[in-house]
Amino acid sequence: MSVIVGIDVGGTFTDLAMVAPDGRLRIAKTPTTVENQAFGVLAALEAAEVALGEVDLIVHGTTTTTNAVLERKLSKTGLITTQGFRDVLELGRRTRPQAYGMKGEFRPIIPRDLRLEVPERMDAAGTVLMPLDENAVRAAVADLLGAGCEALVIHFLHAYANPVHELRAAEIAAETWPNAFITVGHGLLSETREFERGVTAAVNASVQPLLDRYVARLRAELAGRGYSGDVLVMNGNGGMVSSSLVSREAAKTVMSGPASGVMAAAYTGRVSGHANLITYDMGGTSTDVALIRDGVAPVSNEIEIEYAMPIHVPMVDVRTVGAGGGSIARVTVAGLLEVGPESAGADPGPICYGRGGMQPTISDANLLLGRLDPEKLAVRGGVSREAVAEVFQRELGDPLGVDAETAAEAVVRLANAKMAGAIRMVSLSMGADPRDFALFAFGGAGPLHAVALARELGVPRVLVPARPGITNALGCVVADLRHDYVRTVNWPLETVELDALHALFAEQAATGAAALAAESVDIRDMRQAFSVDMQFVGQSHVVRVGLADGRPSREALRDGFDAVYWERFRVALDGIEARVVNVNCSVVGELAPVDILALIDPVGRLPEARAQGKRRVVFESGAVEVPVYWRDELPLDCVIAGPAVIEQMDTTILVEPGWQARGDAVGNLILEAGT
């Protein structure tokens, strides 16, 4: 049995999960070190008492690239592009940040003076209209080097149709560029749309040096402590890549944290017999939602990580739906209660954190209602329940004409209604009815709200994994190796050359197999997933059609498209011409399975569930004294009737009246209505 350590760096905490030599899972949680995340990683390894010499593999999820983009702390990067189009990265797609309010700002990834143009032109079919001016490329490269650029993007119009100019320009640049940080536009995703492809390439280049240095430093630190294995880094597609290769496609690591959480959810769902899940990750500032169908997390090429910042590489489709524990409640001038969208964030955070927050938040409301343990917060240096109640009375209770506790209950009720609405919108937008799913609740605050949301959504069951607070780190341990390939072709369905399509799939699969072979990790099994993106001529949105293999017939394409279109839109459109837009292949290398039952030490489990104490908790139906259990002590097959509270190190689970929690065979708690 190989020893695998998963370490995920989040905004506040660095989490570790480890499959120890004895098959047990060990976990740790340490504060994230913002300046250099490696220190937090090392601290987590120490906290878990990991003997690095015995470790076979470290899998790492990092926010280095995400933070760099969001904070624009990027390496100086230059762009060489088609004459007439250097401003594409700044013009965007003619939008504004919000529908109402004519204000807003946008900072392009590469400033205008570092965006240079060269004569060259391809048409949409990939035919050269104007040859590449190689001397102009040399001059531009020299100018950008002179300006102090560390990374370079070469991005030409229609390079997805014919990359020869981009490749030649990169060759020329490589003659003088002092490092390997050269990104070509078609390199990450060979897809139509110059703004999205260009931004993706620009993000890739401008985070490459940062990620490269970070990974090198981390490897050196680990080597110094006796670790001789490889470090794999999580990608946003839910797969992982060797640290020696990762910076080449650095943009793919953006949003890897949420992706690994979803991978852990999918894995947990598969081993516990829940193939269809809505994942619900509620943290301090935001809540992330994803849909898992048949045990698989959907991947999208169209994620936008903030306003006008599309990163078009395959990423697990995780949607942020706003509210987190820090969302602020207030009463409007119209005398109505509002929750969010403003957030107290992590700093100052909710009042109860005791870091100077003075505005009522969802977390504070949970505290007042007894759903969070006031004593535990007080121990951590938070403020008293009375102080929180005073703010709720003044800010919410008085204007609404109710007491502080009623106001707090209203805040949670409204927040739940809005979150449920947002989750419904996410699932409907993916063509799914939430009632066909189980809710997989994780993150620090997820299990506190999950039952109320499930009731609101008509979801029959909630699944709370053994360690909701370290789900992302678990995702690192259970993830697969993965490479995705996309090529835009725009072939009409009726005339598509099947031989060419099959050859393209075969080429993608072979490239993927070679990429897996280049990794240092032994894989148990390799599989490919083939799909095409299709649309009706005259439409601009595409649907993804999964295929059984890489040699589909024309009928398989047509029938698949009709079926998916019907499932998604409930509209049948006969007689309208369809076309194949993109050809996609994912190549996945599977690692050995992990036993998640070990997430809670069986030694600590008691033969019978025994409440540790009682606490007064306010529900919508009124206040009740409820038993409080400690999760780690619960027998595997426990059955606990609500109302009850189940506490654990990393979260609090609220079992509402009329619901019950029972343990399943792999250590999850399943919450269902009735008995």
Out of 221, 338, 390, 507, point to the residue binding other proteins (CB under 8 A): 338
Candidate segments 31-39, 70-78, 189-197, 518-526, binder of other proteins by CB under 8 A: 189-197
Q: Does the footprint of other proteins cover residue 621 (CB under 8 A)?
A: no
Q: How far is the CB of 71 from other proteins (least distance, A)?
A: 18
- Give the residue carrying structure tokens 């699944």: 463
394 lies in the site for other proteins, by CB under 8 A: no
252 forms part of the interface with other proteins (CB under 8 A): no
Smallest gap from residue 485 Cβ to other proteins (A)? 20
Pick one of 24, 76, 138, 193: the residue that binds other proteins (CB under 8 A): 193
Is 571 a binder of other proteins (CB under 8 A)? yes
Residue 603 sits in the site that holds other proteins (CB under 8 A):
no
What's the CA gap between 216 and 19, in Å, rounded?
25
Sheet holding 182-184, edge to edge: 115-118, 77-82, 151-155, 182-184
Please tell me whether residue 401 binds other proteins under the rule CB under 8 A. yes
Burial class of residue 470, CB neighbours in 10 A (0-12, 13-18, 19+): buried
Report in angstroms how near the CB of residue 255 gets to other proteins at its nearest.
22
- Least separation in angstroms between CB 173 and other proteins: 23
400 binds other proteins (CB under 8 A): yes
- Consecutive H or E run containing 217: helix 194-224
Nearest to 247 by CA among 187, 185, 180: 180
Binds other proteins (CB under 8 A): choice among 12, 36, 192, 511: 192
Is residue 541 a contact residue for other proteins (CB under 8 A)? yes
Kindly tell me which of 39 and 536 has the beta carbon lying closer to other proteins.
536
Q: State yes or no: residue 417 binds other proteins (CB under 8 A).
A: yes
Residue 623 sits in the site that holds other proteins (CB under 8 A): no
How near is the Cβ of 339 to other proteins at its closest, in Å? Answer: 9
Which 425-444 residues touch other proteins, going by CB under 8 A?
A: 425, 428-429, 431
Distance CA 136, CA 182 (A): 17
φ, ψ of residue 454 in degrees (nearest 5) = -60, -45
Q: List helix spans (H) across 51-121.
A: 64-70, 88-91
Q: Which residues pair with 618 in a beta bridge?
A: 623
Q: How far apart are the first and last CA of the chain?
A: 40
Give the Cα separation of 58 and 48 in Å (integer). Answer: 14
For other proteins, the closer of residues 228 and 429 by Cβ is 429
> Using an 8 Å Cβ cutoff, are 261 and 478 in contact?
no
Distance, CA of 45 to CA of 35 (rounded, Å): 18
Q: How far is the CB of 537 from other proteins (least distance, A)?
A: 9
Number of residues forming the site for other proteins (CB under 8 A): 71
Helix axes 404-429, 385-392, angle to 10 degrees: 80
Among 100, 548, 622, 674, binds other proteins (CB under 8 A): 100
Q: What is the largest CA-CA distance in the chain?
A: 80
Question: CB-wise, 36 or 83, nearer to other proteins?
Answer: 83
Within 13 Å, how many C-alpha atoms sit on residue 284's CB side? 14
* Contact in structure between 153 and 77 (CB atoms under 8 Å): yes
- Gap between the Cα atoms of 13 and 4, Å rounded: 20
* Closer by beta carbon to other proteins, 564 or else 641: 564
CA distance 201 to 181: 11
Tokens 């990834």 sit at which residue?
109
Q: Which is nearer to other proteins, 355 or 568 (CB)?
A: 568
User: Residue 273 to residues 292, 453, 472: CA-CA distances in angstroms?
Assistant: 13, 22, 20
> How far is it, in rounded angstroms, from Cα 182 to Cα 188?
12
- Our CB check for other proteins shows the closer of 88 and 311 to be 88
Question: C-beta of 98: minimal distance to other proteins in Å?
Answer: 7
Residues within window 273-332 making contact with other proteins, judged by CB under 8 A: 332
Residue closer to other proteins by CB (options 271, 453) is 453
Task: Give the interface segment with other proteins, choosing from 194-202, 247-255, 285-293, 606-614 (CB under 8 A).
Answer: 194-202
Taking the complex as a whole, the smallest distance from the CB of residue 202 to other proteins amounts, in Å, to: 16
| Shortest spacing between CB 41 and other proteins, in angstroms | 38
Q: Please spell the DSSP secondary structure of 222-265, one letter per residue.
A: HHHTT--SEEEEE-TTSEEEEHHHHGGGGGGGTTHHHHHHHHHH
Among 106, 590, 632, 658, which residue interacts with other proteins (rule: CB under 8 A)? 106
Write the binding mask 119 to 148 for other proteins: x where contact by CB under 8 A, - elsewhere: --x-xx----x-------------------
Q: Does 101 bind other proteins (CB under 8 A)?
A: yes
DSSP 305: S
Residue 359 touches other proteins, criterion: CB under 8 A: no
Closest distance of CB 155 from other proteins, Å: 12
Q: Which is nearer to other proteins, 221 or 342 (CB)?
A: 342
State the minimum distance, in angstroms, from the CB of residue 594 to other proteins. 38
Stretch that binds other proteins, among 117-125, 352-360, 520-528, 623-631 (CB under 8 A): 117-125
Pick out residues in 143-182 that bind other proteins (CB under 8 A): 157-158, 160
Least distance CB 504 / other proteins (angstroms): 19
**Please, which of residues 455-514 interact with other proteins by CB under 8 A?**
490
Q: How far apart are CA 578 and CA 574, in angstroms?
A: 10
Within residues 69-98, the interface with other proteins by CB under 8 A covers 84-88, 90-96, 98
Interface with other proteins includes 622 (CB under 8 A)? no
Q: Alpha-carbon distance 45 to 39, whole Å?
A: 10
Q: Hey, which residues between 203 and 222 contact other proteins (CB under 8 A)?
A: none
- The answer to whether 403 and 393 have CB atoms below 8 angstroms apart is yes
Of the pair 148, 538, the CB lying nearest other proteins is at: 538
Class of residue 112 by CB neighbours under 10 A (exposed 0-12, middle 13-18, buried 19+): exposed
Return d(Cα 610, Cα 485) in angstroms, integer.
52
Residue type for position 459: V
Considering the complex, state which of residue 290 and residue 481 has its C-beta at the smaller distance from other proteins.
290
What whole-number distance in Å separates Cα of residue 258 and Cα of residue 9? 11
Nearest partner of 290 among 282, 281, 332, judged by Cα: 281
Stretch that binds other proteins, among 34-42, 45-53, 531-539, 608-616 (CB under 8 A): 531-539
